[in-house]
Structures are given as C-alpha cells and as structure tokens.
Structure 1
Amino acid sequence: MAKTAFPHTTASGLAGPMASLDGLLRDWLPRQRWFAGKDRPVTELRLLSLTELFPGCLHLLVHAGHAGGGHGAGHAGVPSPGGTPPPGDCYQVLLGVQEQLSPRLGRALIGRTRTGPLAGLVVYDALQDPRSAHLLQERLRQPGTAGPLRFEADPAVRIPPALPPRLLDAEQSNTSVVYGDAFILKVFRRIQPGVNPDLEVSGALARQGCRRVPAPAAWFRTVQPFGATLGVVQPYLRDASDGWTLALDALAGGQDFAGRAGELGRAMAEVHLALAAAFPADGADAAAGEGGHTAAAMAERLDAAARSVPALRPHVPGLRSAFAALAGGAAGPPVQRIHGDLHLGQVLRAGREWFVIDFEGEPSRPLAERRSPHSPVRDIAGMLRSFDYAARQRRPWRPEWARRCREAFCAGYASGSGWDPRHQHALLRAYETDRAVYEVLYEARHRPDWLAVPMAAIERLAVRGD
C-alpha cells in the first residue's frame, strides 16, 4: 500500500501533487461520462483541495478551465476575491494510489505517475475499488472530519457496517455506489458552492412527511475552498424499476403505459404540493410568477444553441414565438420549488407506488438558479418530452403511445393538484420548446445519433400556433 503523506494539502502545497497528476487527469477526465467539457480542450487543471481519506485514497477537488471559457456564471473554480468563481468547472475525484494495481481493478486504471511526489505509483478510480468504497461507507457511518471534509448523518437512521458495495454504471452526471441493496451513495461530480438541492430537498420533504422521496441518511461536504455538498446517502429501493425502463418494456411488449402514466401524474402532483409547503415562495415572487425575464432567458438559450447546432437555425423564428406567452405574462400556477430536471429516468416504481429521485436539477445550470422557484409547468413539460423520447426508441414510431401517456399524466396530475396542465397550452409549449432546445444541444455534443429525436419536436413546436 502506498504511503502518500497528504493528510490535507493546503493551497500553497498543491503544486507538488499536481506535478504527479496533471498529465494523467488531463487524459482521463475528458473520457468520463460526467465530464462536461468534452467538446472543448482543457487549457488548465488546478488542484483546489487534496485530502487523504485513508491510506491509499486521495480526495480531490479539481478545477478545469477550457478554451473559450466555461458554461457561464455559477461554475466553481477558485473563488475570486469578490466571491464569483472563474469560468470552468470544479470536479470531485477520488483516487486510489498504490505501488501495484490488482488485475481485478484493471478497468479502474488511470495510469502510473512519472514525476512529483507520487512518482512511480499507480493511480486509479477509487470508487471502482470495493475496499475504498467500503472504507468510504465507514466514514459516512461515523460522523467526523477529514481535513476540510465533514461527514454527517441523521442520528435516527442506522447504517449497518460491512455492507457489500456495488458501483452503478448507468449514471452520467454523478457516480453512485449501492451498499448491500439497502443504501445508495450518490457522489456528486460537478461541485458548486452551496447546498446541493438533492440533499436540501430530500431532507425538507422528509420533514414534511412526503413518502414519495427517499430521505437522506448521511452526507458529506467540504468547507474549503468553499462550502459545498459532495455526496448523500439514501435508502435504496432494491426492487424498484425506473420509469424509462418500464416505458421501454411496455413499448417492446406492445403494452399500454397510460395507466401508470396517470398514477405518475398524481404522484408528481403530491410531490409538488409537498415542495410548495416545504419551501414557501416569497409573496412577491409567487404573485409575479415567471414572465419576461424567463422568456428572455429561454430566447438567449435558443440563440446560443443555434450558434452551436446549425440544424436548429431555420427554426429559430418559429421557436421564438413559443416564448411569447411568457413574455406577455400568461396566467399560470404560482412559482414554487420544483424538481428542475424531471423525466422518466428520475422516477422509480416499487410495488404499486411511484417515487421521485434526483432533485439535483440540471448540473450545467448555476446552483442559485436550480434552487430558485419556477413554474411547476417546467417539470410537467420535462416529463411530457420524456414520453416522446421513449416512444421514439422503437420503430415504427408510435406517436399515439406518447399522446396517450401525455394525456394520462396530465389528467392524473390534475386530479391531485387542483389545476389541469392541459389548460396551460401556451405555457406548456414554451417550456417544452425550452426543453427541446436543451435536448438538441445535449445530443449534438454527447450523442449525435440521437439528435433526430429532439429535432422532430423542434419541427413540431416551431409551427404550432397554440
């Protein structure tokens, strides 16, 4: 086992370890699914924090700068004296460091260092190592500190020791480890200053008595170089299936999904009501709703996406008309705290019940925006787009399947919320358009073969007149 001698390295001493790790991380980071800057060269890597969690395992916060700047305000690099992070992104990385790597960890290999204080040692992704995952669980079971890291837990929840870890391989923006099919640890990869909504919301809803969202059992955070949430442990629904898988199974079997979609709509209405109670909106915000400023932000996102994706450009005039309802102050439900990135992959069905997970919101957007109140129509539009995505996974495309799911979801939501999303035609069009524009940009950057799916919605939304 390697002796790294880095209990916690302060800012003045980070150059040494980075001399060992810079080249390896520049090659490894862009190949990770959760790395956001795949389409732009990494021009700078800066080590913000390094803490030895236990012998042979290093916890890092790494700032990545890119040619052409970052994604916008709110992405965390080294905070400036005024408190505003520079362009770029901050990533959480857990590295194993050994003299030799076990053959069973071959997939976790990052490389062998050649220079600096770690010269000659093998570096690998520690979360793929069952030993490291087990020791991390022990840290989370027993609240305490490690350098700037703080490990905390709900005293009413007991996490048993020695639960076997299992790394999930289906996620993209974060990394999750399941412990004994009893708990799941989500390790956030892109780190921004502040409380992550996934911890904040799940805790608040648990206090409200909402059983649709698994409550946090333990979590960890950092206090340097800024305060931020790093990960959260929640109960694992071992027999649950996510909505995306269930929808595709229904399509493959020629089965209708409308009944389950209606139940999901009622469950989502219940969650929205609990969110409104847990996070009362400021009176002025609730009365004002979302209007011109939201429409302007949507238009700005559209213009930015069109600059990056030429196929979008012919549809820009028609898509802009979709935002007119917001700009004109169309009436709608009051703004409130919402999920922020709702789709079929963010819901689980266990037995006959639906559960909602992953309240982190869209990681590419600033944390302040993700924690601010928005119209619940935004969540509904995200789910409606997800039904369309599912329907297009099989050929021939079955638009009637998606239409029945959309109708059933909205009817279920109306029965639980007291207002019907189908009566918000203009608002739904605006939010669906904004979501489809985001999807176009995402697919163009990450999954070009899928670009046709959101482009079909773009063509529809650009000409629809309601």
Structure 2
Amino acid sequence: MRFTDDLNAWVARQRWYAGKSHAPRFRILDVQPAPEATRYLLMDDAGALPALYQVPLALIASPCDAEEVITEEPDGGYVIDATGHPPFAIGMLAQMGVDVSRVTGTRVLTAEQSNTSIVFDQDGEPTIILKLFRTLHHGENPDVTVQRVLSAAGSPHVPRFLGSLDAEWPDVGREPGIARGTLCFAQDFLRGVRDGWEVALEAARERRDFGEAARALGIAVAGVHGALGAALETVDAGSEDVTATVAGWRRRLATAAAEVPAVADRFDAIDDVYRLALERPWPRLQRIHGDLHLGQVLAVPDGGWRIVDFEGEPLRPMEERAIPDLPPRDVAGMLRSFDYASAVGGAPDGAEWAASSQKAFLDAYTGASGSVELDPVLLRALVLDKAVYESTYEARNRPDWLPVPLAGIDAALAPQALG
C-alpha cells in the first residue's frame, strides 16, 4: 500500500502530469517488463477524460541523489524514476535497433514539461536524444509518424530520425481489448542549437532586424509542408470539412466573447471574416505541424532552422491530430508567435519589428519550394482564430498578457491586414 501511495503522490507532483486541475485518482492498469526496470501504466480517470501515464521504475541498492527516490522497499532498495537510470535508458535505445556500443553517458533534460527527454553521449559527446512519452494513446504518435517520414525524405529541416518503440496494453473500449501506441523515439541530438523563442525574443528586445532569420524560417516551413504533402495523405477540403472547421472557429469565438468583453465588442467583425473565408478557395488538407510557434523551432549554428515537436495541439484528442489539416494554420501560428515575441521583448517599436518579421516570413514561405498557396482571407481567419483562442487563455491564466492577442485581433481586422 505504501508503494502505491508514494508512487501516486510522486506522479501528481511531476511537471508532465496533466491533471493539475483535479484531484488525481490513479490505478495501475498494467505492469510490463522494461530494460533493467519495470514499466507501470497508471490510469487517472478523475478528470474530464481518462489519461494513461507511462511510469518506468527501477530498483537500486542506493540512490545517487535523495530527491530521485520515489519510495523505499521494505526488503531493501530504493525505487527511482528509471529515466534517470542509465541501464534503462540505454536498453530502450538498444531495443529500437540503435547501436549503443559507443554510449558513454546519459542525462535527463530538466526543462521538459509534457514528456521526458534523455540525451546520450557517444565517446563523450552528446549525439542522440530520446523522447519518452509520458501520456500514452492508441495509435502511432504523430511526432513519430511525421519525423520518420520527413527524415526518410531527406528533409534538412528536422533532426534525423533513429527509431521508436511501441507497446500494447489492456483497453476494454476496443474490440480486441488491447490498445497499441508509441512509448518513445530517438533522433539526432543537435549540438549548439538555440530555442527559436529565445533567439527571436533577444532580437526583439535589442531591436535587431530579424528579417534574414524569418526568411530562413519561412523556407523551412514550406519545405516541411511540401515533404509531408508528398509523402502522406492529402484530401480536398470538402464542404463538410469547411463547415466543421468554421464551426470550430465560431465555438472558440463564442467562448472568448463570453469571457472577454473586448472580444465580444469585435464579435461581428471577426465573424464577418469567418463568413468570407467560407467562400474562398481552400488548399488540399494534409499533415501539418499543428502547434507551430517560435518555441517549436531550433536555430542551428550554421544559421538554419530545425522544426521539432510534431505532436500537435496538446489539448486536442490524439486521433484528431492525425487528420489532414490546413497548412496555412501553421503559418498563422508562426505569425502570432512573432507578435508575442515583440510584445514580450518590450521594445518601443515592437509592432514594427513584428510586422517586418512577419512580412519576411510570408514572402519567403510563398516563394519557397513546397509552399501552399495562401489565400489572404483564409489566412486572416486562421490568424483571428488563433488570437481569439489566445485571448481566452490569457484572460484565464495571464490577464496582464491579454493586450497581446487583442492587439493581434485588431491588426488582423485592419483593412490592409496580410495583404
């Protein structure tokens, strides 16, 4: 009983535990063997939707750090999170078929939130990174599907994909009573990279021109769209797809208007853009990034960009993230991210910095190989939908930041917006 209580309490404290809004109600769904460890699958069914967590545990004789201990066994030994246990980490990598003969060390990255990432050194140099998914879902994780496809196509805009691992677990809601999904995957570790948000924020704060970097980013996003469109399913945007998409925009608008008076004041103007978008030509739907912003790109030392984290929007059900979507939605997400960087950077001419960066990004994207044609009205609607969603989020969580999406809404409603 002590083991279960200590484990549940530990999980509830972790950054990757997504049920912070409710009191957890864990039960052990399955226990599986893992390299030098045991994998516990914990179901939390206290929230609006059940969530399944992957918790690999290792039993060691003595801990290296008292803080990593989850519980102490009555018969001796200490239970720890196995991601910090090198034999487990190396064993997972080996199960993917990756050569581990030159691995000389492992370490867990502490900045991760929704997952856990482990970096492997080979001959003393960091070369491989493994992402262990903490929340499990039936079906292959989109991050794995997309990065494998892009890597196989030779895309220079993502890290090289090395392998992945799947597992099965009980699921009474499925016909065979079993679900199958992705546990983790590995790819090249990029040395010397910088988070795109940090790079852009620094440039905005110092009032440095970001045009060249924004153009390179536009080329990278277009290249990813082109490769995904060529390798994975694409479909025409039928009337049902268009109607469903716009209905989603209007649901988010109604929610925001009910909570943010400034959005309510602009309700009719925003909805007019949505109505116009219904009548415009839509591009073919395909796999996209789904949650693209400056925090999802890495600046590499040679001046280029790598795009990462293709899981899609965290709040969307996993099965929805694999459905073909609008490529301009990725473009809209990046445009909004420039606005946030300029606002947080706090420069007096922040709006001008954002506008010039957005123009450079758009010009490069539209002229690059792989790009999808950007209808200005449809793109405007997608930017508005993103800013409307942001206004609800900021009103609930960071009221001081609410002016950022509201300014974005006004900019998108301006007659000259986005051409």
- The equivalent residue for 1:24 is 6
**Alpha-carbon distance in structure 1 between the residues aligned to 2:183 and 2:207:** 42
Q: How many residues align?
A: 403
The structure-2 alpha-carbon separation of the partners of 1:137 and 1:211, relative to structure 1 and needing over 3 Å to count, comes to same
Q: Where does residue 215 of structure 1 map in the other structure? A: 160
1:163 partner SS: strand
Contact 1:140 1:218 (C-alpha < 8 Å) held by counterparts: no
Q: Which is further off, 200-209 or 314-323?
A: 314-323
Matched, 1:41 2:3: no
Task: Give the Cα separation in 2 of the matches to 1:121 and 1:303.
Answer: 55
Percent of pairs with identical residues: 38
State yes or no: 1:365 paired with 2:316. yes
> In 1, distance between residues paired with 2:240 and 2:152?
26
Q: Which of residues 269, 282, 285 is equivalent to 1:332?
A: 282
Contact 1:319 1:433 in 2 (8 A): yes
Tell me, yes or no, if structure 1 residue 204 matches structure 2 residue 185: no
Code of the residue aligned with 1:395 in structure 2: it is G
Cα distance, 1:49–1:357 mapped onto 2, change above 3 Å: same
Q: Which residue of 2 aligns with 1:178?
A: 119
CA shift at 1:142, angstroms? 2.7
Q: Say which of 182, 193, 205 aligns to 1:240.
A: 193
Three-state SS of the structure 2 residue aligned to 1:392 is helix
The aligned residue for residue 50 of structure 2 is: 88
In the alignment, is residue 267 of structure 1 matched against residue 210 of structure 2?
no
* CA distance in structure 2 between the partners assigned to 1:443 and 1:381 by the alignment: 18
Partners of 1:292 and 1:329 within 8 A in 2: no
Equivalence map 1:261-410=2 (5 Å): 261-282=214-235, 285-286=236-237, 290-304=241-255, 315-326=266-277, 328-350=278-300, 351-396=302-347, 398-410=350-362
Q: 1:270 to 1:299 in 2, by over 3 A?
A: same
After superposition, the C-alpha distances for 1:214-233 in whole angstroms (9 at most, x for unaligned) are 23212222111210111110
Q: Helix, strand or coil: the match of 2:185? A: strand
* Compared CA separation, residues 240 and 45, structure 1 to 2 (3 A): same
Residues 233/448 of structure 1: CA separation in 2 closer, same or farther (3 Å cut): farther
Change (3 A) 1:211 1:417: closer
Task: Pick the aligned partner of 1:59 from 33, 39, 52.
Answer: 39
* Change over 3 Å in CA distance of 1:265–1:202 after alignment to 2: same
Corresponding residue SS for 1:382? helix
Instruction: Give the aligned CA root-mean-square deviation in angstroms.
Output: 3.1
Unaligned runs of 5+ in 2: 171-178
1:434-445 paired onto structure 2 within 5 Å: 434-443=385-394
Aligned equivalent of 1:165: 106
SS in 2 for 1:182: strand
SS state at 1:187 partner: strand
What does 1:101-116 align with in structure 2 at a 5 Å threshold?
Answer: 101-102=63-64, 104-106=65-67, 108-110=68-70, 112=71
Distance 2:392 2:87 in 1: 39
Alpha-carbon distance in structure 2 between the residues aligned to 1:22 and 1:305: 41
Unaligned 5+ runs, structure 1: 1-18, 71-86, 144-151
How far apart, CA to CA, are the structure 1 residues paired with 2:240 and 2:151? Answer: 27
AA partner of residue 343 (structure 1): H
Tell me the distance in 1 between the aligned counterparts of 2:93 and 2:155.
Answer: 25
Structure 1 residues 97 and 136 mapped into 2: Cα distance closer, same or farther (>3 Å)? Answer: closer
TM-score scaled by structure 1? 0.77
Distance 1:253-1:23 versus aligned 2 partners, 3 A rule: same
Partner of 2:82: 126
